[in-house]
Structure 1
């Protein structure tokens, strides 16, 4: 294993009704005034908002709201949230939703203690402090509940960039599988693709990859495949829902990258451009990019791709494993072609240009030139 340092300060509270203890959890960290960040009013219609705010009131925590966070969260909404948080004097943010809400909340938490433009943190300025961050996950996909990163799109510049900083680890994250039973089939399968993408980036690209990490990643991917199929038939299966949610967390909380080295995130680099230009759901974009990228890349690491085929699908060759993944995506109903995303030739040119800039920013342009990116995406037609 390659040398590493590891610390993950996030506390996970997993289980039914854990969200009803949110006030107590937040009080432990001195919360007094909180900005609640969420998407639609569904959390109010379902009673979730009332349950959470009742707990906040019980512990004397005042709150205000920033709502209408969208999938593929945008900078202007983050800026709106910062304005609200500063005016309210918030000391904490509480995200109730999926990864888009939490990524927005993280950026709001950083920007609320900063006098400059929060976009600075997405373009190189370090995050040194932030409001305390808490969350209740209603959708499992991004793993943002147990890591220190987030992604936001600057809708003016069409840049979809990440933000990172140790202070962006949530203090407490609540995962109640029951809250995720109403997720649509579309977003369930998009989430499955996102989790698999988080799992394979290092698995396929790392120059140093410990056997233990291989086994963990393979177990995670097989869990996602198994539980997705169960949930498509029975969305209320809480055992499958819980395993799916925990697989999402494990895919990007740092554990599956310990002792690895020399890895990169090409699928996310390309998909960030795709959703920045066309605003496609992130997981849907990834299910299109992944088989195409794997087809282009597999000769660079043939043994690992053969291993993937054998361990995940019981097949012999890299090509068979790639086709099996594509077939599984088709089976569950997440797209595998640009046409399914309604991406035309003009869009494609803009995506390639955007991704080529991402490759420069992510220090991957030695491999991923504009022509290479175009070649990969042409495999997704």
Structure 2
């Protein structure tokens, strides 16, 4: 186990009707708030009125900015920054899932950023020392951004997708009512599940030894997601199953499962280029890339993949053939993803697989990221290209 510091200061406000008290939650920090959201769905289903009514009752003024979309855009973030400066807004309230929250974090950091915000995302400039506080009303469990220090944006200039992380970005609170996820379309629910699983697996596949406690925490969280996924796909209004998935989304990315170990995140970086160029759902992209990555790297540490197969997927261990056990675990993961409606190949995802297209993804993976991607196995551009070949069909 390696040395670590752990702090997860985001206050989790979990359960039925918790969104009705968001005005009081925001009022602890500010009296002028930007409500940031995606589509008008939150107005049609009444959530917007519930939140704004609560803000009014708490004496909090609000300005709204909708339009956040999957793979959130830098252009809208810049619009939000100017709006906050013009209106002297001192708090950002994100209503939505990871894309909205990431966009809100970008706005929060950009308001207090002296230079070009995109330079922060590309690593050319250091993050600002502080950001406006952010709060969340979560409607899509997936990215875990509601309690993480990460934000990801896509620039329209060249369609690059980049991330930066800083403790200044962790939301002050996250209001999490599983009932708000009942109306999610099946594909969005499934994409969220794939994203959650990927966040856990990025931490699980590590070269650090003697991390049994966090191994078990990762495995238990994955098994809970696997058990509840078919329930929510079959019965979207099952509160208890939705609650398990929603809480797993937070645990998967609030850094608890990272303690004492070094994660990988190579698959995420490859997928960021995929969704940056082709605007696919992030979770769906990960459902394609992660199994391909596994097939390429599993021989680096077969015993860890055997453990994954046995403990997570209930594979009977073949002591005489560990590689067969490891590959069966990867296969069962693919079957699971397919069972909830996720693609597992680039062809299914609708991504062109010509040489020039795959070369572009591989090349962009390394722009501004240095000489290697990932940690479990340090990937070079040729390795990313090979992984994309595994993912083709």
CA distance in 1, matches of 2:153, 2:210: 30
Aligned to 1:148: 149
SS at match of 2:146: helix
Tell me, yes or no, if the aligned pair for 1:277 and 1:350 is still in contact at 8 Å.
no
Aligned to 1:129: 130
CA distance in 2, matches of 1:364, 1:12: 30
Equivalent runs, 1:117-266 vs 2, <5 Å: 117-124=116-123, 125-208=126-209, 210-261=211-262, 263-266=263-266
Aligned to 1:326: 334
CA distance change for structure 1 residues 364 and 201 in 2, over 3 Å: closer, same or farther?
A: closer
Aligned to 1:273: 273
CA distance in 1, matches of 2:342, 2:357: 20
Instruction: Report the Cα offset of residue 253 of structure 1.
Output: 0.4
Residue 370 of structure 2 corresponds to residue 360 of structure 1: yes
Residue 386 of structure 2 corresponds to residue 375 of structure 1: yes
Instruction: Report the Cα offset of residue 193 of structure 1.
Output: 0.8
Aligned to 1:15: 15
Tell me, yes or no, if the aligned pair for 1:103 and 1:152 is still in contact at 8 Å.
yes
SS at match of 2:248: helix
Summarize deviations over 1:174-202 as a string: whole Å, max 9, x none: 00000011111001111111111100112
Tell me, yes or no, if the aligned pair for 1:273 and 1:358 is still in contact at 8 Å.
no
Segments of 5+ residues of structure 2 without an aligned counterpart are 318-324
Residue 110 of structure 2 corresponds to residue 114 of structure 1: no
Tell me, yes or no, if the aligned pair for 1:209 and 1:259 is still in contact at 8 Å.
no
Aligned to 2:63: 64
Tell me, yes or no, if the aligned pair for 1:204 and 1:301 is still in contact at 8 Å.
no
SS at match of 1:260: coil
Instruction: Report the Cα offset of residue 359 of structure 1.
Output: 5.0
Tell me, yes or no, if the aligned pair for 1:127 and 1:164 is still in contact at 8 Å.
no
CA distance in 1, matches of 2:117, 2:336: 40
Summarize deviations over 1:85-117 as a string: whole Å, max 9, x none: 111110000000000000000010011122322
Aligned to 2:320: none
CA distance in 1, matches of 2:246, 2:210: 25
SS at match of 2:179: helix
Which is further off, 295-304 or 354-363?
354-363
Instruction: Report the Cα offset of residue 240 of structure 1.
Output: 0.3
CA distance in 1, matches of 2:129, 2:17: 34
CA distance in 1, matches of 2:288, 2:333: 11
| Structure 1 runs, 4 residues or longer, greater than 3 Å off | 361-366
Instruction: Report the Cα offset of residue 374 of structure 1.
Output: 1.0
Instruction: Report the Cα offset of residue 247 of structure 1.
Output: 0.5
SS at match of 1:142: coil
Instruction: Report the Cα offset of residue 209 of structure 1.
Output: 5.3
Equivalent runs, 1:279-318 vs 2, <5 Å: 279-315=279-315, 316=317, 317-318=325-326
Instruction: Report the Cα offset of residue 338 of structure 1.
Output: 0.5
Root-mean-square deviation (CA, aligned residues, Å) is: 1.5
Matched residues, number:
379
Instruction: Report the Cα offset of residue 135 of structure 1.
Output: 0.6
Segments of 5+ residues of structure 1 without an aligned counterpart are none
Instruction: Report the Cα offset of residue 208 of structure 1.
Output: 3.5
SS at match of 2:63: strand
Tell me, yes or no, if the aligned pair for 1:133 and 1:171 is still in contact at 8 Å.
yes
CA distance in 2, matches of 1:69, 1:325: 31
SS at match of 1:272: helix
Tell me, yes or no, if the aligned pair for 1:359 and 1:368 is still in contact at 8 Å.
no
Instruction: Report the Cα offset of residue 159 of structure 1.
Output: 1.9
CA distance in 2, matches of 1:364, 1:185: 31
